């Protein structure tokens, strides 16, 4: 029986061992005056000022702002050297200057849908034709509306076309036959936006008449493909269930509660915004397209929005964690969410292959490019707003994210070291039990674990099949961000995980990993649960080992910073 138990565990955990789990630490706390952050922001500022000095950015203005879930930490604003003399826009760009944020608007539309789901006024898994009855009418197209849910629309999984009045080349080229296109009549095409000379905004009837004649790109939920129309339909759903216009609802439900006083869907005064030289969309009224790209906002207002998201993304509705991906986005490391564009990379940390998640949404309209980036593991949000040259945004994003993440990683490790690192011993001198924790680039590592005289890492766990015996590994504590005493938010719950050392093998399946935080139990208690007790903002005082029924006290030598009680890092390679 014991042999069977061990064999099953070994088979299970050989597959379950992963490299460098994330998150590796609790949410960091930020002080904008900390030397690590000041150095990072200084490096970012120097790099961006050197970049913007190029003459190709003479007409470009930008705003960049970084916030934690509590406060804005840093911002940088640049006013174009060459201004639009025909517009009486803002004299000097600052945190209150308005830009068109384009498709970032989609996140507001989805947030409105999530609010209505939480209120019980709709369900994410309802088909769209419940709320837009015109879609049940006879139509020329073949879009399967009864199978297209609000969730699939919000997740870019509806399979419906991208546009209904934009991106038609018949409006962009005067002689289509010169490009190989046959001459075609314009009969049946809309008479608004790009299809009309004065670009009037389109209405509900224009949208529905057009979309009811379309064919699907894919079947619903088959493959993700970007659609602006999806969010225009979601805007109609919001109007249906609230009885308000889309603009009124977004203002009442989001802008006002978050004190986003500068943001709007209707065109603000030119003196509040930055309007670049050349083609721009400042004056364009979006009409029915507003839910997909109509909002004007500032970096200061967007920081308020990002702070709200960072503190509520897993609590808006029980139906979903708003940051979770819904489908692959086409690349190996890119995914679609609702409506997030998620990027996951292991290339950003110089001393670690731990993946970093970027929850992003980009936007673009003539004359404007924008990007918001949330880093939930680091408790950070970034806003990048550009008016002028589109190429500048990617340069800003690269510099800001790399410098910021690396500084935040060092700061998180420093905070781990100050709060948790040390040796914890049994106050009962007759009980030979102790645990040593060391903080480094991997996170919080367990370098020694003695229980009643038994070396748990070297003998106990491996013999039970709980830790691997066929590859080098180390033991790491991963935070669950939960508490044993949730009412008082004390007693931090962590889980010990076996982490494999990456080898030289390049096998096809080497990167296969399915996270498993819940290891076997002992008498119904989780063997790998560690509870760290201590006043917030101070060093922890006790380490409780749930299944071992023991509470270890921090060694005084650990409290005063002495390294005598600490064990050097060790990689176990058991034969």
Binned at pLDDT 50, 70 and 90, residue 502 comes out as confident
- Residue 529: beta bridge partners? 495
Predicted local distance difference test score (pLDDT) of residue 5: 45
Residue 567 reports pLDDT greater than 60: no
Rg (CA), the chain: 28
* Secondary structure (3-state) at 378: coil
Residue 574 reports pLDDT greater than 80: no
Model-level pTM? 0.94
pLDDT in tens, 381-427: 999 999 999 999 999 999 999 999 999 999 999 999 999 999 999 99
204-211 vs 229-242: helix crossing angle, rounded to 10: 130
Query: Count of alpha carbons within 13 Å of 517, Cβ hemisphere only?
Result: 15
The DSSP string of 119-167 is TTS--TTSBGGGT-GGGGS--SS---GGG-BHHHHHTT-S---S-SSSS
What is the C-alpha separation between 407 and 207, in angstroms, rounded?
47
Give me the chain's average pLDDT, please: 92
Question: What single-letter DSSP state applies at residue 34?
Answer: S
- Residue 375: beta bridge partners? 380
Least-confidence region, from 59-68, 484-493, 536-545, 555-564: 555-564
The two counts, helices (H) then strands (E), for the chain are 12, 21
Can the peptide bond before residue 23 be classed as cis, meaning omega within 30 degrees of 0? yes
Cα 542 from chain centre: 33
Query: Count of alpha carbons within 13 Å of 44, Cβ hemisphere only?
Result: 26
What is the C-alpha separation between 360 and 372, in angstroms, rounded?
5
What is the C-alpha separation between 575 and 11, in angstroms, rounded?
16
Burial 201-232 (b: 16+ CB within 10 A, else e): bbeeebbbbbbbebebbeebbeebbebbbbbb
Binned at pLDDT 50, 70 and 90, residue 17 comes out as low
Residue 332, phi then psi, degrees to nearest 5? -65, -25
pLDDT in tens, 321-368: 999 999 999 889 999 999 999 999 999 999 999 999 999 999 999 999
Cβ–Cβ under 8 Å, residues 129 and 135: yes
Predicted local distance difference test score (pLDDT) of residue 118: 98
pLDDT in tens, 132-189: 999 999 999 999 999 999 999 999 999 999 999 988 999 988 888 899 999 898 888 9
Predicted local distance difference test score (pLDDT) of residue 8: 42
Label residue 570 exposed, middle or buried (CB < 10 Å: 0-12, 13-18, 19+). Answer: middle
What is the C-alpha separation between 297 and 378, in angstroms, rounded?
25
Q: Residue 225 has which token pair? A: 């493909």
pLDDT in tens, 213-250: 999 999 999 999 999 999 999 999 999 999 999 999 99
Domains of the chain plus CATH, in order, are 2-26+421-559 (no CATH), 35-164+202-412 (3.40.710.10)
């Amino acid at each position: 029986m014991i042999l069977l138990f061990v064999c099953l565990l070994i088979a299970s955990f050989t597959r379950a061992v992963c490299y460098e789990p994330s998150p590796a630490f609790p949410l960091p706390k930020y002080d904008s005056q900390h030397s690590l952050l000041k150095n990072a922001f200084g490096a970012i500022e120097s790099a961006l000022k050197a970049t913007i000095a190029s003459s190709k950015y003479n007409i470009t203005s930008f705003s960049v702002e970084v916030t934690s879930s509590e406060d804005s930490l840093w911002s940088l604003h640049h006013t174009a050297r060459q201004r639009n003399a025909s517009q009486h826009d803002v004299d000097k760009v600052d945190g209150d200057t308005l830009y068109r944020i384009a498709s970032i608007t989609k996140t507001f539309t989805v947030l409105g849908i999530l609010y209505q789901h939480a209120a019980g006024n709709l369900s994410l898994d309802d088909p769209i034709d419940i709320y837009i009855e015109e879609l049940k009418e006879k139509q020329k197209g073949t879009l399967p509306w009864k199978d297209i849910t609000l969730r699939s629309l919000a997740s870019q999984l509806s399979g419906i076309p991208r546009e209904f009045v934009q991106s038609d080349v018949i409006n962009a080229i005067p002689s289509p036959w010169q490009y190989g296109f046959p001459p075609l009549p314009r009969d049946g095409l809309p008479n608004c936006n790009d299809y009309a000379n004065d670009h009037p905004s389109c209405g509900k009837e224009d949208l529905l008449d057009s979309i009811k004649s379309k064919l699907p790109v894919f079947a619903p939920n088959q493959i993700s493909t970007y659609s602006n129309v999806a969010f225009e339909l979601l805007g109609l759903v919001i109007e249906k269930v609230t009885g308000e216009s889309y603009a009124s609802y977004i203002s009442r439900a989001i802008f006002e509660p978050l004190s986003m006083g500068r943001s709007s869907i209707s065109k603000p005064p030119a003196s509040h915004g930055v309007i670049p030289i050349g083609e721009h969309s400042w004056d364009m009224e979006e009409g029915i397209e507003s839910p997909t790209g109509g909002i004007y906002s500032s970096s200061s207002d967007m920081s308020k929005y990002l702070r709200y998201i960072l503190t509520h993304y897993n609590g808006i509705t029980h139906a979903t964690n708003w940051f979770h991906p819904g489908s692959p986005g086409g690349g190996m490391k890119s995914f679609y969410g609702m409506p997030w564009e998620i990027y996951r990379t292991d290339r950003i940390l110089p001393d670690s292959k731990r993946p970093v998640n970027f929850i992003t949404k980009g936007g673009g309209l003539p004359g404007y490019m924008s990007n918001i980036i949330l880093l939930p593991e680091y408790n950070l949000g970034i806003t990048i707003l550009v008016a002028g040259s589109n190429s500048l945004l990617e340069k800003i994003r690269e510099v800001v994210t790399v410098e910021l993440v690396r500084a935040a990683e060092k700061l998180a490790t420093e905070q781990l070291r100050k709060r948790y690192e040390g040796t914890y011993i049994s106050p009962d001198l007759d009980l030979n039990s102790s645990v040593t924790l060391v903080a480094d680039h991997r996170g919080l590592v367990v370098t020694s674990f003695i229980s009643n005289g038994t070396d748990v890492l070297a003998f106990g766990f491996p013999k039970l099949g709980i830790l691997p015996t066929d590859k080098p590994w180390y033991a790491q504590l991963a935070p669950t961000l939960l508490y044993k005493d949730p009412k008082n938010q004390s007693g931090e719950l962590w889980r010990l995980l076996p982490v494999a050392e990456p080898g030289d093998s390049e096998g096809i399946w080497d990167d296969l990993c399915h996270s498993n935080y819940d290891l076997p139990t002992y008498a119904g208690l989780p063997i790998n649960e560690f509870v760290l007790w201590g006043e917030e903002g101070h060093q922890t005082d006790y380490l409780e080992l749930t299944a071992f029924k023991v509470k270890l006290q921090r060694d005084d030598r650990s409290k005063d910073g002495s390294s005598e009680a600490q064990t050097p890092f060790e990689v176990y390679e058991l034969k």
